[in-house]
Structure 1
């Protein structure tokens, strides 16, 4: 494995702690992502070997679930709700605007590593649609201008 030592140690520990559990793959993947922020490609073969799975099987799970990242996330994660209530209240337009402002699509990170953009399928803020979550803070009734203000505040460290 060609991961930096701290990441390699974390991956090995998480695999060891979970490999004997029933359905160990998902807990291992969640543990790795929680620990180092993404599932490095170098970890896939190690996981596969330890669980007696093919690399294709592990990669298939990683790529199937939108929650799992295969590259490091930006410093801040922007999630835009894609559920019905938010869509009915302008979520599609807001999503398009966010992609244009950031210059990225869902599951991508800006070139400066500042922002990652992710879809989410309900933030539990339906009464205040459309909803956006910036890192761990949920915002409601977000407009295009409001999103730009949020991004500006985050860039300035004022969130």
Structure 2
């Protein structure tokens, strides 16, 4: 697929998503979530299309995308590993797990491994405070992590 057909696909699919969701009360967030679900990120080319359809400025759309940590402006790896950085997790070893994860993966926060397998993201509370430290691999929550459990999660994601 060449760049032009790729851009045409992004614009066409974005328009379709907007048409499906524009009549919702407060449609911007649902549209952005569906675009990210479709493409794996929110393409820059989609922002002006969304802005025009919803009578917003491009700056308003960009502001929402950049404000919420879950929205990406570039594709993620095949798997996303989110480590909780909130106080409860930090108090029981979350910082050491973060250092370990970055070391094992060879990347920093928001980075993706060279093989495209894993993107590492910080999150500020997964709601598993009683089971800290916690992580989420793709959409699956994991609590009471230690170095061995984290190693297993990383190995699973790299397969």
**How high is the TM-score relative to the length of structure 1?**
0.85
Query: Which deviates more from structure 2 when the two are superposed, residues 67-76 or residues 113-122?
Result: 113-122
Alignment of 1:90-101 (within 5 A): 90-101=93-104
Structure 1 residue 40 displacement after superposition: 0.6
- Alignment equivalent of 1:80, drawn from 79, 83, 88: 83
1:67 matched to 2:70? The reply is yes
Structure 1 residue 6 displacement after superposition: 4.7
Alignment of 1:85-124 (within 5 A): 85-124=88-127
Mapped to 2, the partners of 1:51 and 1:42 lie a distance apart of 15
- Alignment equivalent of 2:140, drawn from 134, 137, 140: 137
3-state SS of 1:41 partner:
coil
Structure 1 residue 108 displacement after superposition: 2.5
Structure 1 gaps, min length 5: none
Q: Deviations over 1:34-54 (max 9, x none)?
A: 222210111011111212222
**How high is the TM-score relative to the length of structure 2?**
0.85
3-state SS of 1:62 partner:
helix
Equivalent residue pairs, number: 156
